[in-house]
Structure 1
Amino acid sequence: MPASITYQAEPELNAVDFQKLLIASTLGERRPVGELERLEKMLTHSDLILTAREEGKLVGIARAVSDHCYCTYLSDLAVHRDHQNMGIGKMLVKLSKATFPLANLILLSAPKAIAYYPKIGMKKHENCFISIPEDPIY
């Protein structure tokens, strides 16, 4: 991991920086990067925004919602393509877990990242369900 990477909580991260990082990572393929207002709401309603920066440049983010004691949903974990495989994602996950140590850390993996999470100690859960906005609930 590069020594010049700094990690911090950034609850006031702006949506444009978030948007640029999502686009520069593989996560941008599955996020509403063309909807800046929606990205702003995603940031505003997060309980945790951790960033990784190299000389001030945003190179990683972990964004989560949590009840602080039972469950934390890590909704975004993104690392700039040029900074992947340097341990940044792992450190962001570790810091996310440490922020709410009593909570289960939960995430939905991007298809290309499924093999990554077991390597850092996370367990696969077989009983996950999702309903996207277009899906009716009967």
Structure 2
Amino acid sequence: MTIEFKVNHPVTADQFIGLLESSTLGERRPMQDRACLEGMVANSNLIVSAWDGSLLVGIARSVTDFHYACYLSDLAVHEDYQRSGIGKRLQLLTQSQLGPHCKVILLAAPAASTYYGRLGYAHNERCWLLEPGVTIGN
């Protein structure tokens, strides 16, 4: 198995959806809303992807200013390719695209909460979420 890693290589919505469906990340994404999924890919400004030939097998999808903060929105690896180092390599390549003072920020899936600590991430209890439909101040 030869996996090729690419930075900002075009990823179609169908490829992204297929990867989400073949990983556990699809359980926590709006799979019924194609327009949302298309927008997620189109409006990311840093995408590191892993390919087995023409098959997208991993993605690290981020929104960043490249200098201070990088929000790693999605880290997904196809179930058949997990535990082979692809996720770690996607994160290292993401980090390599960022300036020396840029922090990587992410929200871990419940099953992955211990994974990130082993890689060197620090747990932060100060994260807050404003869910859709909630108006600030109410």
Would the aligned equivalents of 1:25 and 1:78 in 2 still touch at CA under 8 Å?
yes
Task: Name 1:112's counterpart in structure 2.
Answer: 111
Task: Name 1:134's counterpart in structure 2.
Answer: 133
TM-score (norm 2): 0.93
Shift of 1:39: 1.1
| Cα distance in 2 between the residues matched to 1:75 and 1:34 | 18
Tell me the secondary structure at the aligned position of residue 115 of structure 1. helix
| Cα distance in 2 between the residues matched to 1:105 and 1:120 | 12
Query: What's the RMSD between the two structures over aligned residues?
Result: 1.2
Structure 2 unaligned spans of 5+: none
| Cα distance in 1 between the residues matched to 2:53 and 2:42 | 25
Task: Name 2:29's counterpart in structure 1.
Answer: 31
Task: Name 1:89's counterpart in structure 2.
Answer: 87
TM-score (norm 1): 0.93
Would the aligned equivalents of 2:9 and 2:49 in 1 still touch at CA under 8 Å?
no
Shift of 1:42: 0.9
Which residue of 41, 54, 57 maps to 1:56?
54
Distance 1:10 1:52, change over 3 A: same
| Cα distance in 1 between the residues matched to 2:9 and 2:84 | 24
Shift of 1:128: 0.7
1:60-94: per-residue Cα shift (whole Å, max 9, x none)? Answer: 00000001100000000000111111110001011
* Structure 2 letter corresponding to 1:85: R
Structure 1 segments of 4+ aligned residues over 3 angstroms from their partners = none
Shift of 1:47: 0.9
Shift of 1:11: 4.6
* Structure 1 letter corresponding to 2:67: C
1:77-134: per-residue Cα shift (whole Å, max 9, x none)? Answer: 0001111111100010111111113310000001110010011111111111111103
Tell me the secondary structure at the aligned position of residue 118 of structure 1. helix
| Cα distance in 2 between the residues matched to 1:77 and 1:134 | 26
| Cα distance in 2 between the residues matched to 1:35 and 1:16 | 12
Percent pairwise identity: 43
Would the aligned equivalents of 1:71 and 1:104 in 2 still touch at CA under 8 Å?
yes
